[in-house]
Amino acid sequence: MSEVIQKPRTARAVGVVRDVHAVTPLMQRITVGGDEIAEFLTVEGVNEPAAWVKVFLPSGEGKAYTIRHIDHEAGTVDLDFVLHGTEADSGPASFWAC
């Protein structure tokens, strides 16, 4: 008999950038929070190793990022972005993270 594999529940949340700082000269850590993010942090599996979120940028493009850190008390999530350059052609996430 086959085991049924269930797809994880999809949760959507709009976040607000709470903090930005350089991890290295070519990596930016962005902390995202807000009421919807705090609620998202209650979703089953969000604390698992290699948990990820898909970030949709103002341009409408989306990309998956591994959650680097969760602060349940503050209701925030840290995500790391590699900086490929400061020009628009460096990639939408890199350009946005600069």
Q: What are 64-85's pLDDT values in tens digits?
A: 888 999 999 999 999 999 888 6
Note the pLDDT of residue 34. 93
**pLDDT range class, residue 50, cuts 50, 70, 90:** confident
Q: Report if pTM > 0.75.
A: yes
For 18, phi then psi, to 5°, come to: -100, -30
What torsion do the CA atoms of 95, 49, 51, 38 make, to the nearest 10 degrees? -100
pLDDT, tens digit, 9 for 90 and up, residues 13-41: 889 999 999 999 999 999 999 999 998 88
16-97: which CATH topology? Elongation Factor Tu (Ef-tu); domain 3 (2.40.30)
Decide if pLDDT at 45 tops 60: yes
Query: What is the Cα–Cα distance from 17 to 51, expressed in whole angstroms?
Result: 20
CA–CA distance, 66 with 48 (Å, rounded to integer): 11
Residue 46's pLDDT is: 83
